[in-house]
Amino acid sequence: MFRFLVFVFLFLLTSHTYFQRSVHADVPEPPEDYEGIITPPYEDYFRYKTSTGSGYRIKHTTKIWVGGDVMFNWGVRDAMKGEDPILPFRSFTSLLYNMDYRMLNLETPILHKTPTLDKLKSYVFYGEKKDLRVLTALQIDGVFLGNNHTMDLGETGLKDTILSLEESKINFAGAGRNEEESLRPLIFKKDNIEYRTFSFSDIGENRLFASAKSAGAAYFRVGTAERLIKKAKLNQVNMLSLHWGVEYSPEPTEVQRKTAKYLVNAGYQVILGHHPHVPQGIEVFPKGIAIYSLGNFLFGSKNSYLKHNISVVLHFVGTALVCAEIIPVFGKHQTLPGDQYFFPLGGEESEEFLKEYALLCKNLGTELVISGGRGYVFLDKELKANVKPY
């Protein structure tokens, strides 16, 4: 009997060891230099039919994708604690792979070590250089630093951020080691067209902004923004990222609307807003559009005010903006226990959100066409008449 029990024990121990090895045999340890890069081909998760039919495939356009606020604390940090820190964000991979240029609002300094926090602010954000692997994996080309958190860790923090971005080959606009650098735009060229995006913050104390001899964010002045494009060339498209507005408000202020109209008339084809942390509607002018707030992209806040957000694909034919495509982004992190999730909305949930968002656009005189879980603002009547669902 004793021999039989020993045999059973050894059998179970061997089986358990074998089972453990079998389970983990196909999960190799990542190499030390692993950067989370995801290589093609990608499965496209974003083509599906819904109650409003199929989405539109808008061919032969230059596609510039824009996302909202990003930082690496709170739920984002929790999501990155797994074995693969990139995994919680991979749902965006095939979507962003198909874009010509990708940019978003980086609302945090990036440090080489844990910092001493600014006690003068209620909320101080910071990230580590390794966090930029998420942006690299998503192939982000450029970030906006014109916001009220860029200087959370002072000049040293901003200089660390700039160095980390440069080492990660991610371009930036909206802040710099001096005012001149802070006013330089993101530049993307395709088919002899130069797409430029300037970045400013209308939010923050004076100490946060760049001067001739000190580092900081670019302070928003209408006159400065106008001067930067006064000598624009015929083959240039100018866009403006603005950190402005009222937090958690679904509507822009009248001052914002008047400012946007003036800037579009001055030559900015697209105004890209952020800071409210919730999406606001789109207003169409004869010479361009204002997307007053994108809301968050990767933020992970459980604030009860927060709902879903938007990202936008700007479709250009040459220098002409022909369509703004709205892709909803999940944002109700307070409703999910445990792990955080970051993904484009799909199906019925996307369409329900877009119906609400369409009302915000309607209040600004803009029609939002909903199809296939996405929203479309057409600026070209011929395109709107001829575009067909896929």
Domains and CATH numbers, the chain: 62-386 (3.60.21)
Distances (CA, A) of 172 to 24, 161, 240, 299, 348: 41, 10, 13, 19, 36
Terminal C-alpha separation, the chain: 71
Say whether pLDDT at 106 is over 90: yes
Highest mean pLDDT among 24-28, 76-80, 384-388 belongs to 384-388
Q: What is the mean pLDDT of residues 284-292?
A: 98
pLDDT of 165-203, one tens digit each?
A: 999 999 999 999 999 999 999 999 999 999 999 999 999
Collapsing DSSP to helix, strand or coil, 10 comes out as helix
> pLDDT by residue (tens digit) across 233-242?
999 999 999 9
> What is the per-residue pLDDT across 205-219, written as a single tens digit (0 to 9) for each?
999 999 999 999 999
H-only helix segments in the chain: 2-24, 74-79, 93-97, 132-137, 154-167, 179-182, 222-228, 254-266, 347-362, 381-386
Least confident of 65-79, 135-149, 280-294: 65-79
Report the C-alpha gap between 30 and 244 in whole angstroms. Answer: 41
HEC readout, 265-319: HHCCCEEEEECCCCEEEEEEECCEEEEEEECEEECCCCCCCCCCEEEEEEEEECC
Does residue 125 carry a pLDDT above 80? no
pLDDT classification of 118: cutoffs 50, 70, 90: low
The pLDDT value recorded for residue 360 is 98
Element counts in the chain: helices (H) and strands (E): 10, 19
The answer to whether 204 and 151 have CB atoms below 8 angstroms apart is yes
Question: Cα(368)–Cα(282) distance, rounded to whole angstroms?
Answer: 9
* pLDDT mean across residues, the chain: 83
